[in-house]
Each structure stands twice: as C-alpha cells, then as structure tokens.
Chain A
C-alpha cells in the first residue's frame, strides 16, 4: 500500500508539473520555475510560524503568495531596466536567503530542515495522513497534489486556446485582445501552487526537474502543443515509476532517482528523436550525401 501511495504521489507531481512545464518552456521561462521553487521558502516558513502547524492550506497560501511576489519582483526589476536573467537571479536568491535566515532563527520552533526543503522525501508521504470525520482519507500530500493537478487541468482546458496563443506569440495575443498579463500571472500562480504542493515530497530542485525535463523531452518529440502536453505528462509519470524502481534498487533518494530517469529520457530524445534527434539528423545527412554521390 505504501508503494502505491508513493507512486501515486510521484505520478501526480509529474503530471501537474509536466502540464505547466510545457508552457514555461515555450515562453522561455524555465528559470522562472527554478526561481519560484526557491523563493517560496520564506512563504512556507512564515505560514508555518503563523499557523503553528504543518497544515497544507496555510502553507499553500503562504507559498503561493510568495511565488506571485517573485514574479512581480522580476517584472518590476525588468521594468526598472535590469536584464531578465539578472532580475531572476537577484530576486530569488534574496528571498531564499530570507527563508534560510528565518529557518535558522526559529529553528527550535520550525520543524523544517533545509535538507528536506532542498531535496524532499517522498518516502515519508504515506505516513502523513489526513483524517476527516474520524476516517483515514489517505496521505495528505496526495490530496493536495490531486487538488492542484485537477485545478491546473481545469484552467488549462478552459483557456487552452488563450494559453496557446500567449505561449507562441504574445504580441499577437495582445493584438487580438487576450489579457496576456492576466494569463501570465494565472500560469505563474499555478506554477507556484504546484511547486508548493510538490515541495514536501520532492523538494525545491526536483520540482524544477519535473517542470522542465519531461516538457523539454516532449518538445524534442513533437511540434503540436496538445501532443506535447500529453507526452510530457506521460514521460513524467513513466519517469516517476521507473525512478521509484531505480531508487529501490540503489537504496537511494526516490526524488533524485526520478530526476535521473527523466534526464535519461531527455538524453534518449536528444539522440534519437525521430525529427530532431542528433543521431537521426546525422543519419539523414549521410543518406543525402550518399544519394548525391550515387546520383553523380
């Protein structure tokens, strides 16, 4: 049963991240995902100190708010004339520092340690259950992640067309009257929520991995957005299942193993993708050369 819950959690993380990651990649905001996943730390700590418990809801709210603050900060710095990447770098490291300082100052009251924040522990998920009306409802993380996943799925399905235009051509989106900024913040809000919900189970860095790596793999495999979304989710889920097996075999961190497997998938796609793979392209070049030579 524990394996089932761990696998389900991993699959849910992979699915929600894979969905949103596609849009991050297309809008060239992959590092913004990294920034958000670090910058939510002070939000989590403040929510924790304020509510005094590890309830999911206050943490989601606190961290979600901080995620949006990060996006706003980056936007403001850019308007103040700072380069995009420098703006990201300055804001997330500053917020992360505040988080680390808060953790160290209130270490006695905060039952969070930095290792957990940075690389999470999915293996503890099954024991942190949610009781409702006296009944065991299963692990809390599964409920949180499931909710966030359904929310992202709903929002993306409802506004699929708008998100699509914003991702590929923001200028055109603005020209046809789509509120680009609103959708930008909507996407970032979803990314923040997903980051926070995944935080406890996979940690900050591995959220970035799940956001970017499966989506990038799918990006190498297809030119169609809906195919990319489905493939990204599928690759994410597959990586989490195989990663779990790998972790069991090596006796190591499950989240790390999931990331490693996802990285291997990316490597495979990079080499053998039918359209953009390195090997395939080289082979195609050779065929052309060979054809030319025989024609001459």
Chain B
C-alpha cells in the first residue's frame, strides 16, 4: 500500500471510520466515567461481555454481530448489578468487586467458549475475533451499526449534558434538587456498557478500557470546563483512532487496536508533561521559581534581622555571605547565587566598609540598597503578621483570611491591621527599619525574641 492509494481502498475507509467513531464516543463517555471515579469499570464490563457472547451463540447457533451485541449488553447489565450488590450488601470494596466480577465472568465465559469449541459445533473462530478485537475485520455493516450506536450515544450525552454534569460533580446536590440520580447513574452505566461492547470488536476486551481512560485523563490536563473537556477528549479519541488505523495499514503485522491505544497513551504522556497549567514541566518550573523566591526572601529577612539585632545602620553595615547563610539556615553555595541575583535586582549591594576591608568578592559584605530595605521591610512585616495571625487564630477566625495566599497585609481591614501591629509591638516584634532614615531610635527593652 504505497502513497495515498489506500484512501481509495473501501476496506481501509470502513476501518478508519469505525475506529474514529469508536474513539470519539469512548472519549466522550470516558470523561464522565473518569470524573465519577469509575475508570476501571469499562475494563470489568468488557471482560464480563464474554459469557454473554458465548451464550448468545449457544442459544441461537449463528454468528451474528447484533445478537452478540445483545448478549454482551445483557451480560454487562448483570455484571454491573453484581458489582452494585457486592459493594452495597457486603464489606467487599469497590476495587475488589470489580476484580471479582471481571475475573469470574471471564472465567465462566472461557468455560462456555471452550465447551463450544470442544463440542464441535462448526467454526467458532468468529467468537475469538469478536472478543479479542480485529479492526481489520470490520466491514460495512459493522461500521453502519457503529455509526448508529455512536450517534445515539452522542445525542443522549448532549441532551443529558446538564444532568450528567450534576451527577459527576455533586450527585448529592442533584438528589437534593430532585433529579433521579440513581436512574441517571444507571443510564451512564448503560451508555458506558454500550460503548464498550461496540468497541470490543475493533480493539478487544483489554484495550477498549484504555480508550475510555486515556483520552479523558489527557483532556483533563488542558481545561477546567466540562464542556471543553468532553470535546477535547472526543477529539483525542478520534485522533488516536486515525493514527492507529493509518499506522497499522502502513506497517505489516501491526495490529490496529494496540496501536490506537499507544497513540492515546502518547497523547496522555504529552499532556502530562507539557500541559500549560497542570503539566509536570510547568509545575517543575513553578516549583523552582518558588524555591528561588523563598530563598531570596529568607536572605533579605536574615539581613534585616541581623541589622535589627546589632542595631547598626541599615544602609552601611554589611554582612558576609556565610553569616547570612548560617542565619537563614541555607547552603552557602546557593546563598551566593541568590545574592548575585538580588544584586542584579538592585536590592542588595556590596557594603562600602566591607569592600574596603577585603577585595576578594567571595568575602564581600552585603548591605541593603534603599529599595532593598523597603522590600525586606515588607517581607518581614508580612511574615511577622502571619505569625501573629497563627498565634491568635481564634481571634481572627471570622475574617475569612485566605491562608493559601502569600500576602496578608492586603487582606486586612485597617482596624484589624492596627490591632495586629499593636500585638506585634507587644511581642516586641514590630519591624522598625524602613525607608531612608538611619536606624537611631533606641530599641525597646525585651529583645530576646528576635535573635534566638
């Protein structure tokens, strides 16, 4: 199959259409399953379909896709009923219930499958194909069935979007509003089941579960809105369907189902690493930035407090890097890097006195620039206000302070700020170095709190 000739091959087109539709509907429904914490349900339902298919064949004696589908759906319904019963009426937890139903149904299915094989009722190879997936065997009628099924699934999801949204995010609230959440949950289960059964033929028992999970998890990385997530997930699913089919038509012996799953997994990995807000790379960058900021703030505070304790002039007296490092409790090497960065930001400068006493830059003594003193003052004030807040949490509980924000001062009303400053003064912790004026005022009596 060279060049683009395969576009003209009707067989490939059927397979392509089938896989795209499958990816689309699995992606869309997978979102709801994922958000409901039921990602592995698809796996269990897919395995549980085996006895249904075998029984359908044993009862009817013919190999008909639609009969197999009906058998699989019935078996899936029984399986989800069993899972619900096991978790509701015994101490068995949900994960064990899934594993039990998955394996017992599959085992029973294998008993049926092998006894069909051994009884010699003609050729049973169609059963295997149906369960272990062979996208290449999809023909026109299968794809027509898939089109109908996917259209129905997508239509139902669109119509019930609001209800499903409520169900996955806050089912208790939904029940309170009077929505039949039990019924909706059952419906979601049924939709999932139909989707899984439709996918069996193309990608097989194990891998249809992946199509439900991977696109949904990937989409979650890119958005905070359910509508966007569902759309994205559907697109990811469809795209992996396209990639899988195209690759497997190009390379000999490459099975379609696993390639589709690998394509979806690659998209997941890409999202995991590079998504702008939740991706690992972005989080790593943010973490490093935060660490640098904390280190620099710590150093400014250390210098500020050293000057406070020694009661020297803030803009002239300098301290060596090692002294700052031991005061802030940081490693000297990283402290030196941070000091140069602070110098570049114009917050610190080598002290005049220090420069006179020694010329070696590594031993240079550092002091504030006026801007640096102001910045350090703000940092120290903010941190000490937080200390006061935590020490008197009961008193300030009613204020609805966002404890995750770094800045406290801006969150406070003027009278609360005054109260806190008064408390700071009573602990003898009010930061007193600021602006351009030299430090002159005699420090109030008790001062143990600062240096220790």
Binding site for B on A (CB under 8 A): 25, 28-31, 33-34, 38, 77, 80-83, 85-86, 88-90, 93-94, 96-98, 100-101, 104-105, 107, 114-115, 118-119, 205-206, 208-209, 211-213, 216, 219-220, 246-247, 250-253, 255-260, 262-263, 266, 270, 276, 278
Inter-subunit contact A97/B37 (CB<8 Å): no
Among the listed stretches B229-237, B260-268, B318-326, B382-390, which one makes contact with chain A, having 4 or more residues with CB under 8 Å of it? B260-268
Q: Given A89-B209, A90-B214, A97-B207: A253 and B114 within 8 A (CB)? A: yes
**B103, CB-defined interface residue at 8 Å:** yes
Inter-subunit contact A104/B115 (CB<8 Å): no
Binding site for A on B (CB under 8 A): 34, 37-40, 42-43, 47, 86, 89-93, 95-96, 98-100, 102-104, 106-115, 118-119, 128, 132, 206-207, 209-210, 212-214, 216-217, 253-255, 257-259, 261-262, 265, 268, 272, 278, 280
Q: Given A80-B280, A98-B258, A219-B92: A252 and B104 within 8 A (CB)? A: no
Q: Shortest CB–CB separation between residue B220 and chain A, in angstroms?
A: 9
Inter-subunit contact A34/B43 (CB<8 Å): yes
- Give chain B residues whose Cβ lies under 8 Å from the Cβ of A247: 111
Give me 29 A-to-B residue pairs in the complex whose CB atoms sit less than 8 angstroms apart, sorted by A's number.
A25-B92, A29-B95, A30-B100, A31-B40, A82-B217, A85-B38, A85-B39, A89-B43, A90-B268, A93-B213, A96-B206, A97-B258, A100-B258, A205-B102, A205-B106, A205-B110, A206-B103, A208-B99, A208-B103, A209-B107, A213-B100, A213-B103, A216-B100, A251-B119, A252-B118, A256-B111, A258-B107, A259-B106, A260-B111
Q: Shortest CB–CB separation between residue A83 and chain B, in angstroms?
A: 7
Q: Of B43, B103, B106, B118, which is in contact with the most chain A CB atoms at under 10 Å from its CB? A: B103
How far does the alpha carbon of A30 sit from the alpha carbon of B106 in the complex, in Å? 16
Q: Is the interface of A mostly helix, strand, loop or mixed?
A: helix
Inter-subunit contact A85/B40 (CB<8 Å): yes
A-B contact count (CB 8 A): 199
> Which chain A residue has the least Cβ–Cβ distance from B217?
A86
Q: Shortest CB–CB separation between residue A43 and chain B, in angstroms?
A: 16
Q: Is the interface of B mostly helix, strand, loop or mixed?
A: helix
Which A-B residue pairs are the 5 nearest by beta carbons?
A259-B107, A93-B210, A256-B110, A209-B103, A263-B104
How far does the alpha carbon of A146 sit from the alpha carbon of B117 in the complex, in Å? 32
How far does the alpha carbon of A115 sit from the alpha carbon of B118 in the complex, in Å? 16
Partner of B115 from the list A94, A100, A251 (CB cut-off 8 Å) is: A251
Q: Shortest CB–CB separation between residue B111 and chain A, in angstroms?
A: 4
Inter-subunit contact A38/B254 (CB<8 Å): no
Q: Shortest CB–CB separation between residue B205 and chain A, in angstroms?
A: 8
Q: Shortest CB–CB separation between residue B12 and chain A, in angstroms?
A: 18
Partner of B98 from the list A31, A77, A211 (CB cut-off 8 Å) is: A31
Partner of B278 from the list A34, A81, A83 (CB cut-off 8 Å) is: A81
> Which chain A residue has the least Cβ–Cβ distance from B109?
A256
> Which chain A residue has the least Cβ–Cβ distance from B34?
A86
- Give chain A residues whose Cβ lies under 8 Å from the Cβ of B255: 100-101, 104
